[in-house]
Amino acid sequence: MRRKGCLTRAWPIFAERFGQFDCEPPLSDAMQTFLEKPAGSTDLEVEDNGRLWVDSDDNTINILTDFSVPTWTPQTAASTIVTADPTFTLQNTDEEDSDSGRQSRFIGKGEQSGGELTTLGFTEFSHDGSSDDEKGKWRVVLNSGSEGNSPTNVPIEYTADGKIKVSISLSVLDEDDLASNGDKVLVTQQSVKAYVDLDSTGSAMHDAENGFNNVDVDGTKTKVYTKYFTGTFDAASTKNVAHGIADVDKILHVSTAVFTTNTSNYIVHTTFSAASSTIEIQVRFDGTNVIFTAIGSTIQSQKFRIKIDYIL
């Protein structure tokens, strides 16, 4: 009659008749194991109803239907667990704070056609971080194809800070030009930024770090750089501002803005002449300087701005 679940089913009767009692030794290993199982426990509360216990005698899954006796009702199939509030609890008894420690797993195994038994994957709850706290994380680990009972592929992980980590797979695309144009995948942050920075030909439109914009110059995509200068005119009719661009033909455009006390604002121009010589100014450039001449008296000693677009 061993390993038939008889003692499991009879235990509630013993508990009801004798209350809390001890079993006199010597005890067999099987009996000692049984007494350590929930079936032999009377230290239960109403919140424990719905707990599950797998009887090692016959691998039957039992559910606690009455904590007071207690009564563990065997289930005919693991997929048919019936209670008002079903709970399946895995408790790791390791007292530690390591990252991914205190783990509990649900493992899925399967046999190949040749009878090879391997782990297809598992889902795991564990500690998030290495502090002495209660943070948890959840992850799915799958067998990538030839990992036996030690799968390592982690397609998704959810951490205590609410972040979802996913592996680079078909569901997450790392593709800078987004040429595949799929409607069932997400893209990485890096790919989004790279795509925004590209034009229709696949060339970088701009590079903030290296300071250029990719624009059409005479029908050719060209990296165009920009320089800015600010300063104040002298109390004189001329002013040279060195631009540091050795080849004058590399300069595509120069624009300036100068402050005038006549209107108390900046006048934006390249070359400006007026009927009144007090606000007259002329601008040109060579391979060394941006050159201001004929600076009117109301512009002298005032502020200026210069923008230069050039190529290398």
pLDDT along the chain (312 residues), means of 10: 61 69 78 63 66 68 75 67 70 92 93 93 96 96 93 90 74 73 75 66 56 79 87 92 91 89 73 56 90 86 92 86
Domain co-membership, 23 together with 68: yes
Which residues have CB under 8 Å from 304's CB, separation 6+? 230, 231, 232, 233, 239, 241, 256, 257, 258, 259, 292
pLDDT at 271: 47
Q: Within 10 A of 236 (CB to CB), how many other CB atoms are there?
A: 10
Among candidate residues 143, 166, 189, the one where a domain is terminated: 166
Domain co-membership, 228 together with 296: yes
Residues of the domain holding 158: 104-166
Does residue 184 form part of some domain?
no
Q: Within 10 A of 81 (CB to CB), how many other CB atoms are there?
A: 16
Domain co-membership, 231 together with 293: yes
pLDDT at 43: 59
Among candidate residues 150, 166, 182, the one where a domain is terminated: 166
Does residue 300 form part of some domain?
yes
Domain co-membership, 146 together with 71: no
pLDDT at 39: 47
Q: Report the number of distinct structural domains present in the chain.
A: 3
Does residue 152 form part of some domain?
yes
Token couple for 166: 């996913």
pLDDT at 134: 96
Does residue 200 form part of some domain?
no
pLDDT at 145: 92
- DSSP code string of 189-239: HHHHHHHHTB-TTS-BSEETTTTEEEEEETTEEEEEEEEEEEEE--SSS-E
pLDDT at 66: 78
Does residue 247 form part of some domain?
yes
pLDDT at 210: 61
Domain co-membership, 239 together with 305: yes
Percent helix, strand and coil across the chain, each to the nearest 5:
15, 35, 50
Does residue 130 form part of some domain?
yes
pLDDT at 241: 94
pLDDT at 173: 74
C-alpha angle with apex 175: 171 to 181, nearest 5 degrees?
Answer: 70
pLDDT at 304: 92
Which residues have CB under 8 Å from 58's CB, separation 6+? 3, 4, 5
| Peptide bond before residue 25 is cis, with ω within 30 degrees of 0 | no
pLDDT at 97: 96
Does residue 210 form part of some domain?
no
Does residue 268 form part of some domain?
yes
